[in-house]
Structure 1
Amino acid sequence: MAITDKIYLKNHRQLASQLDTNLPKGAFKGATLDLLFQGEGLEKLDDASQERVLDFTQDFLDCDCGDNPYCGCAERKFIRYLLELRADGLGPEAIVDVMSDDYMVYAYPGDVLSFLDDSVRALEAIESLAAVEGDGEAERRASRKKHELSG
């Protein structure tokens, strides 16, 4: 299961009530993406919620793909965001705190830790394959990224 399947809307019930609609708890679920992408009814949200929702929409749903918001760009951008937070030295709990503050979404710290661990393991595999193929540049990049994530 992808980490984006484990990202949830903070204050889910409050948002659904303000929007007067059923809303999935998952931030990257189809109905949630539809609502955010179309922007219908977002003016009903209180100012703080509206600002966070618009930030999320601009930062992750803004792409030129014909299949937007179902093209996968939002998920890839969010994963990049998580990896950048880790590269900045934040641990799983701090990452959850920052994403909650930035976008009113959350995850369980254990899920973030598993995602980061899986990312490091993937980079180790890339590093090993690059070494076997004799691609020193790819090996160095993978090694550098692995060390950034490992802290």
Structure 2
Amino acid sequence: MAITDKIYVKNHRQLSSQLETSIPRGAFSGATLDLLFQGDGLEKLDEATREKVLDFAQDFLDCDCDSNPYCGCPEEKFLVYLLELREEGHSPEAIVDVMSAEYMVYAYSGDVLSFLDRAVRILEAVEDLAVVEGNDDARRRAAAAIRRLEG
């Protein structure tokens, strides 16, 4: 299961109540993306919540794909966001705190840790393949990315 399947809307029930409609708990579920992409009913949200929702939509749903928001770009942008937070030195717990504060979404820190661990294992495989292929540039880039993620 992808980490984006484990990203949840914070205060889900309160948000549903303000919107006067039921929305899924998952931040990247189809119905939630529809709501964010189309913006229907966002004027019903209190100002602070509306700002967070609009920030999320702007930062992750903005792309030129014909099938937006179902093109995979929102999920890919969110993965990059998580990796950048880790490269900045945030622990999995701090990453959850930051995403909650910035976008009103959350995950369990253990899920974030698993995601980061998988990212490092994939980069180690890339590094090993680069050695086998004799691609020193790819090996160096993979090794540098591992160092940044491991802090």
Using structure 1 for the length normalisation, give the TM-score. 1.00
Q: Determine whether 1:16 maps to 2:16.
A: yes
Identity of aligned residues (%): 72
Mapped partners of 1:120, 1:150: distance in 2: 8
What are the residue-to-residue correspondences of 1:113-124 with 2, within 5 Å?
Answer: 113-124=113-124
Mapped partners of 2:142, 2:57: distance in 1: 30
After superposition, the CA RMSD in angstroms is 0.3
Matched residue pairs, number?
151
Shift of residue 147, structure 1, vs aligned partner: 0.6
Alignment-mate amino acid for residue 56 of structure 1? F
Per the alignment, residue 39 of structure 1 pairs with 39
Shift of residue 86, structure 1, vs aligned partner: 0.1
Mapped partners of 1:92, 1:125: distance in 2: 23
Shift of residue 115, structure 1, vs aligned partner: 0.3
5+ residue gaps, structure 1: none
Per the alignment, residue 128 of structure 2 pairs with 128
Alignment-mate amino acid for residue 89 of structure 1? G
Shift of residue 149, structure 1, vs aligned partner: 0.4
Alignment-mate amino acid for residue 47 of structure 1? E
Alignment-mate amino acid for residue 47 of structure 2? D
Stretches (4+) displaced over 6 A: none
Per the alignment, residue 27 of structure 2 pairs with 27
Per the alignment, residue 70 of structure 2 pairs with 70
Mapped partners of 1:50, 1:43: distance in 2: 7
5+ residue gaps, structure 2: none
